[in-house]
Amino acid sequence: MPLLPSASPNLAAPFGALTFRPFRRAPRLARFAFPYQRTVRISLWLSVFVVVVLFGWGSWQRRWIADDGLIVLRTVRNLLAGNGPVFNQGERVEANTSTAWTYLMYVGSWIGGPLRMEYVALALALTLSLLGVALLMLGAGRLYAPSLRGRKAILLPAGALVYIALPPARDFATSGLESGLTLAYLGLLWWMMVCWSQPLRTRPDSRAFLGALAVVAGLSVLVRPDLALMGGLALIMMLIAARTWRNRVLIVVAGGFLPVAYEIFRMGYYGLLVPGTALAKDAAGDKWSQGMIYLANFTGPYALWAPVVLLVAVGILVTVVRRRPSFVRPMESPNYGRLARAVQSPPAAVAFVLFSGLVQALYWIRQGGDFMHARVLLAPLFCLLAPVAVIPVAIPDGEKYSRETSLWLAGATTLLWLGIAGWSLWAANSPGMGDDATRVTYSGIVDERRFYAQATGHAHPLTAADYLDYPRMAAILTALDNTPDGALLLPSGNYNQWDLVPMIPPPPGSRQKPEHAVFFTNLGMVGMNVGLDVRVIDQIGLANPIAAHTERLKHGRIGHDKNLFPDWVIADGPWVKWPPGIPGYLDQAWVAQAVAALKCPETTAVLSSVRAPMTPHRFVSNLVNSFRFTGYRIDRVPLYELARCGLPVPDVPPAPPRE
C-alpha cells in the first residue's frame, strides 16, 4: 500500500524527521490534482484565467498570418491534393521547419473541410499559444505546491505577465507559424517534468506516465529541430532516474520511435538529414555579431533587463522562504542512488528548463538571430520565465521566521511583484522598434506584422487574398492569364508588372503542357494565390533545391543570406535562353554557363534525389547518400561552378543585334 508522511515528526524514524502512514488509493485523476490550500488553489486558477484572457484579447487585437505561415499552407494544399508533403509538385523539398505543425495543420484543414486554411491556422495558433501560457503557470504552481502545504498563501502571475506584455509575443500568437505549437509544447513539457520531479505526489513512476513523458520529450525535434537538445536532455534525466531496465527500454523506445522514424523518412524522401529550411539558412553556421545585434533589438525597446532583475530578486526571496517538501522517497527503493534522487527532484526540473532556455538563446545568437523582430528569442525567454511564471506570497505565520521577518519578506515580494506588474503595463503599450519597425535597415530586422500591415493596406492581413494588395502580387495573376503558352515570371523594377521569359515551344505533336513558374522571395503569398500547377521558387533556397545548396553570403540579410541569380532558374527550366527572350539585364553567356554547370555529376545526383520518381530504389539511394547531399555546396557564379566541377566553359554565340 502506498505511503505518505504524517504531519508530525518522529526523530527516531529511519529518515530522521518523518514517519509514514497508509492512505487509501485515490482515484486516478485525483493523483494528478493540485492538493493546494483553498486560497492557493483559487489564486492560481484566477491568475491563469486573467493572464489567458489578457493574452488572448491582446493577441486577437494583433491577429495576422505571416507570409512564412502561408508557406506551410501551400504544403498542406499539396498534401490534401495527394501530391505529398512538398511545396511544388514533382520536387520533394521540405519547405517547413516544424514537421509537427505541418501535419497538425493538415489534420485541422481536413477536419475543417470548406473552412479557409488561414482561419484554421489562426484558430490553432491562438489556442495553442493560450494553452502554452496556462501550462507554464500550472507547472510553476505545481512546483511550489509542496512548500505551501499547510500554509496560507496566494499565487500571483509574474513571469507570465512579463511574457504576454511583450508586443512580439502577442504578434506571433496568431502568425500562422509554429510559435503557438512551440509554446504549448514547452508548457506541456515543463508541467510534466515538474510532475515527474515530485514522485510521491503524482506517482509518475507508472509506466503510462513515463511513456507519455518520453513521447512528449521525443517530439521536441519534430516541433522544432532546435528543441532537440531540450527533449534529449529530458530523456537523459529520465534514463538516469529510471529504477529498472524495463523502464529504461520503455523510455528509449517511446522517446525515440517517432523522431527516428521520421528522420529515416526525411533521409529517404527528401535526401537530407535536416529540413530544407535548415539547409537554406545554414543552421550550423555562425554570425555572433549579428546575433548580438538581434539580442539588443529584442531587449532594448522594452528595457527587458528591468523585469529580469525583478524576477531574479523574486526568485531569491521565494527560495529563501521556501519550506522543504514534506515527502521523501518510498522505503521500498533502497537501490535508488543519490544521483538518481538528485536528477528526479524539483531543483533539477528548474535547472533543466533554465539550462534549456539559455542554450536555445545562445544557439540563436550564434546563428545570427532572425529577420523577424524577437521571434526566435521568444521560446528561450518562455523557458527562462517558467520557474517564476507564478510566484507564491505566503501570509506570515511566524513558524519558520519571526512574524516581523515574515512580514518583511512578504512585503518585499509584493513590492517586487508590483514593479513587475508596472513594467508589464508599460511594455504592453510600447511602440517596439518605433520608426524602424517597417524599414529594412542594415540590421535586416523588421517588425514583420507591422511591415505586412503597411505593405498590404490591411490592419489584419489574414488570408492569401489580403496579400494580393502587396506590391507585385495582383500582377502575377494578370501575367499568368496573359501567357497561356507558359512563361517564367521574374520580378521587375516596376511593382505592377513582371519580366516574362517565354517557354521554349514544344516540338510538333508533343503533348507537353504549358508550364509556369514564379521566381520571388515571398513564397507564401505567391504560393497560396496561384494554382498548384504553377512552380513557385525563390533565390534563398526554401523551395529551390539549387539555391539551397549554395554557400551562405557573409554579409547577407539574416534569414535571406543566400541569393541565387535568375540565370540559374532560366537554365534549369524549359525557358528560352537567348535574347530577346531573356531580359536585357541578364547575360546570355551566364545562362549558357549555368546550363553547363547543372550537368556537374554531383549536382545532377542532388537534383535527381528530389526530382526523380520515388521508388524503393530511389528511397534507399537517398537514404545512403543523404549525408553527402546535405553537405554538398555549389558556387552561385556559374563560371566558378564550372571550374569547381572541372567542366569546360561553353562557347556562346553572340546575341543577334536589336532592331
**Is the per-residue pLDDT at 502 higher than 50?**
yes
Q: How many residues in total does the chain contain?
A: 659
What are the pLDDT digits (tens) for 138-191? 999 999 988 877 777 889 999 999 999 999 999 999 999 999 999 999 999 999
Q: Which pLDDT does position 359 carry in this prediction?
A: 96
Q: Which pLDDT does position 16 carry in this prediction?
A: 34
Q: Mean pLDDT throughout 237-241?
A: 94
Q: Which pLDDT does position 378 carry in this prediction?
A: 97
Q: Mean pLDDT throughout 491-520?
A: 90
C-beta atoms surrounding 462 within 10 Å: 18
Separation of alpha carbons 277 and 288, rounded Å: 20
**Is the per-residue pLDDT at 364 higher than 90?**
yes
What are the pLDDT digits (tens) for 610-636? 999 999 999 999 999 999 999 999 999
**Is the per-residue pLDDT at 234 higher than 70?**
yes
Q: How confident is the model at residue 398 (pLDDT cuts 50, 70, 90)?
A: low
Return the residue matching grid coordinates 496573359: 482
Q: Which pLDDT does position 151 carry in this prediction?
A: 73
Q: How confident is the model at residue 205 (pLDDT cuts 50, 70, 90)?
A: low
Q: Mean pLDDT throughout 301-324?
A: 86
Helix or strand run (H / E) with residue 641: helix 638-645
Q: Which three cell numbers stand for residue 362?
A: 545562445
Please give the mean pLDDT across all residues of the chain: 88
Separation of alpha carbons 363 and 287, rounded Å: 10
Q: Which pLDDT does position 611 carry in this prediction?
A: 96
Q: Which residues contact 519 (CB under 8 A, 6 or more apart)?
A: 488, 489, 490, 491, 537, 538, 539, 566, 569
- The domains of the chain are located at 34-63+94-327+338-429, 477-645
Separation of alpha carbons 635 and 335, rounded Å: 59
Q: How confident is the model at residue 240 (pLDDT cuts 50, 70, 90)?
A: very high
**Is the per-residue pLDDT at 590 higher than 50?**
yes
Q: Which pLDDT does position 202 carry in this prediction?
A: 47
Q: Can you spell out the DSSP letters for 171-217? A: HTTSSSSTHHHHHHHHHHHHHHHHHHT-HHHH-TTSHHHHHHHHHHH
**Is the per-residue pLDDT at 131 higher than 60?**
yes
Q: Which pLDDT does position 412 carry in this prediction?
A: 87
Q: What percent of the chain has pLDDT above 70?
A: 88
**Is the per-residue pLDDT at 292 higher than 90?**
yes
**Is the per-residue pLDDT at 327 higher than 80?**
no
**Is the per-residue pLDDT at 656 higher than 60?**
no
Q: What percent of the chain has pLDDT above 90?
A: 73
**Is the per-residue pLDDT at 14 higher than 50?**
no
What are the pLDDT digits (tens) for 61-97? 999 999 999 999 999 999 999 999 999 999 999 999 9
Q: Mean pLDDT throughout 212-238?
A: 96
Q: Which pLDDT does position 561 carry in this prediction?
A: 86
Q: How confident is the model at residue 510 (pLDDT cuts 50, 70, 90)?
A: confident
Distance of CA 652 to the CA centre of its chain: 47
Q: Which pLDDT does position 28 carry in this prediction?
A: 45
Q: Mean pLDDT throughout 578-603?
A: 94
Cα torsion 315, 317, 321, 323 to 10°: value is 10
What are the pLDDT digits (tens) for 518-553? 999 999 999 999 999 999 999 999 999 999 999 988
